[in-house]
Structure 1
Amino acid sequence: MTSALLVVTEHGYWGEECTTPLTELDDAGVDVTVATPSGAAPEVDEMSVDPDEVGAETAERVLEVHENDARLNDPEPLAEQSADDYDAVVFPGGHGTVWDVNQDRHARTLLRDAVEGEAGLGVVICHAAGILAHTRGSDGSFLVEGRDVTGFPNAWEADIVDENDVMPDGRKLPYWVQDEVEAVGGNWDAELDAEASVTVDGDLVTVRGPGSSEAGAERLLEELRVEQTAAD
């Protein structure tokens, strides 16, 4: 059976960027495991389940999965996972990733092994693109160097943080993911004029962020050569 690992931040994942691939993979019959850095249940970004921000339908759908999915409520510890056990390792986004997943050495190892392995895929969504700025390949070079990628763009970040990079919830954003990825040689294009942005470069799949989750999940299934089961 085709299998996938979702590596989810504990400090605020963006709802649809986690629940969309989770449910799409489920519907396609993929065996999905969820892991967090410490094995604790992840928090969902409150803005991503605010009907005024994302719409009532999306908020309700995300909360249903967040509150009731056993894998999200009792995830595996990240350090116990190996990319060799999965056909894809998926990193959902959310600002929370900048405080844990993106710098986590076990997360970086999972991404490197998924991308460099013979059969696996690494999938990075939104703010999780920051992990690319911290991940080196087995030859010591940055994994993203020379690769085409997308992710959460500076143009969007500028609309969220204040002049001191402080977010609406009072936390200071330690870095902007586009800047960090470009600094280590990634060919960044968030395709701001496009409705959705998904980029595939070898075994690395990157997804821009909110609004691209569905397209990203569909492309992942294509790369896995898995057909999604039609909804009843």
Structure 2
Amino acid sequence: MSRKILTVLSEYGYWGEELLGPLVAFDEQGYETVFATPNGKRPQALPPSLDPGYVDPPLGRSVTTPEVAVAARELDKSARLDNPVSLAEWIPERPYDSEPNPLRLMEAYYRELAELEGDVEQYDALVIVGGSGPIVDLANNGRLHELVLAFVRADKPVLGLCYGVATLAFARDWDDRASIIWGKHVTGHCKEYDYKDGTGFIGVDFNMGPPPYPLEYILRDATGPDGRFHGNVGKETSVIVDYPFVTARSTPDSFLGGRKLVETLESGLRRFGW
């Protein structure tokens, strides 16, 4: 049976290796990968992620090998990323309670949202690619939150990479507002890996300085007393599987994260890294 993976990317810049790593694993298995962005705009790689000479400030070294840089540039220029699915056209937006006739609007919203349950049946897994872009348009994207919840309800794995993991902390059912990773073990972009300055995005001339929030602190709070955030600082890789979630800390974990998602699908992997 051919598997199909839905991969969501930011429109404000993804990190090249964080798409390349999982995609290589999927291609090796013969999986079909469908790409999506918030508004159907073609995603673009962040320029530093394609430059093997770029030194990552927190780590004090290049995080992109020449081989990965070449492959990521070829992927970024290829037709594979053309015409992604638009989340805005696919998934309804929750109306404000202050809008006229809010009950009818909410009823219509939930009717349309219910169709997601059928839509996700065609996919075997969801991937949320990292980079600085997800800070802008994926972390607090209500449509993406509903998509994540639909995959979780369908008991299908979700892979979050780097700042893509932020979406998992914020994707919550509106009835109880509880984190879907409460009690889970996860990894993600740790405090030691955060820039002090230079967080940049595609399409806007704006240097945010440091990231607007420390993802590690959010994940520590979201997992609660029975879960745990694993930074694994000092270790070359950090990938955690606590099914249905597969989380990867940062760039060096991209290939391993993709392979572990494949293992959840092909070998029934349910726990790894803790």
* Interval of TM-score (by shorter of Structure 1 and Structure 2): 0.7 to 0.9
How large is the RMSD of aligned CA atoms in angstroms?
1.9
CA-CA distance at 1:137 after TM superposition: 4.0
Change (3 A) 1:203 1:137: farther
8 A contact 1:112–1:137 mirrored in 2: yes
CA deviations 1:187-214 (Å, max 9, x no partner) are 2112123221111112111111111111
Deviation at 1:106, TM superposition (A): 1.4
Q: Choose the corresponding residue for 2:85, options 61, 76, 79.
A: 76
Q: Contact 1:83/1:89 (CA < 8 Å) preserved in 2?
A: no
Following the alignment from structure 1 to structure 2, what is the Cα–Cα distance between the partners of residues 167 and 207?
20
Residues 1:155 and 2:196 are matched in the alignment: no
Identity %: 30
Q: Is the counterpart of residue 85 in structure 1 residue 95 in structure 2?
A: no
Deviations 1:70-116 (A, max 9, x none): 23122111242743321100001001100001111111112122123
Mean alpha-carbon deviation: is it higher for 8-17 or for 135-144?
A: 135-144
Q: Could you give the per-residue CA deviations for residues 163-218 of structure 1, whole angstroms, max 9, x where no partner exists?
A: xxx53661243212112222323521121232211111121111111111111111
Q: Secondary structure at the match of 2:241?
A: strand
Q: CA deviation at 1:42?
A: 0.9
Q: Are residues 1:62 and 2:72 paired?
A: yes
Can you give the 5+ residue segments of structure 2 that lack an aligned partner in the other structure? 55-63, 92-118, 201-205, 268-274
Name the residue aligned to 1:115: 152
**Pick from 160, 172, 182: which aligns with 1:136?**
172
Q: Which amino acid is the alignment partner of residue 212 of structure 2?
A: P
Measure how far apart 1:21 and its partner are.
1.1
Q: Which has the larger radius of gyration?
A: 2
Counterpart of 1:123 in 2: which secondary structure?
strand
Query: Given that residues 21 and 256 in structure 2 are in contact (C-alpha distance below 8 angstroms), is that contact kept between their aligned partners in structure 1?
Result: no
Give the one of 169, 179, 189 matched to 2:230. 189
Residues 118-174 of structure 1 show CA distances to partners (whole Å, capped at 9, x for unaligned) of: 3x11111111111122111476211011110001111110xx223xxx536612432
Find the residue that maps to 2:252 and give its secondary structure. coil
Tell me, what secondary structure is at the counterpart of 2:139?
Answer: helix
Match in the other structure for 1:201: 242
Offset from partner CA, 1:26-71 (integer Å, 9 cap, x none): 2211111000000000121111001203232211110001101x23
Amino acid at match of 2:82: N
Q: Which moved more, 1:80-89 or 1:38-47?
A: 80-89
SS in 2 for 1:220: helix
Q: Does 1:180 align with 2:218?
A: yes
Letter in 2 for 1:63: R
Distance in 2 between residues matched to 1:26 and 1:57, nearest whole Å: 17
CA distance in 2, matches of 1:153, 1:116: 28
- Whole-Å separation in 1 of the counterparts to 2:262 and 2:3: 10
Does the 8 Å contact 1:84/1:113 carry over to 2?
no
Following the alignment from structure 1 to structure 2, what is the Cα–Cα distance between the partners of residues 138 and 122? 20
| Equivalent residues of 1:33, 1:71 under 8 A apart | no
Distance 1:135 1:121 in 2: 15
Q: Residues of 1 paired with 2:136 and 2:230: CA distance?
A: 24
**One-letter amino acid of the counterpart of residue 13, structure 2:** G
**What CA distance in whole angstroms lies between the structure 1 residues aligned with 2:136 and 2:216?**
16
- 1:137/1:225 Cα in 2 relative to 1: closer, same or farther (>3 Å)? farther
Equivalent residues of 1:67, 1:73 under 8 A apart: no
For these two proteins, the number of residue pairs brought into alignment is: 219
In the superposition, the TM-score normalised over structure 2's length comes to 0.75
- What is the alpha-carbon distance in structure 1 between the residues aligned to residue 22 and residue 7 of structure 2? 9
Q: 3-state DSSP class of the match of 1:155?
A: helix
Read off the aligned partner of 2:11 and give its amino acid letter.
Answer: E
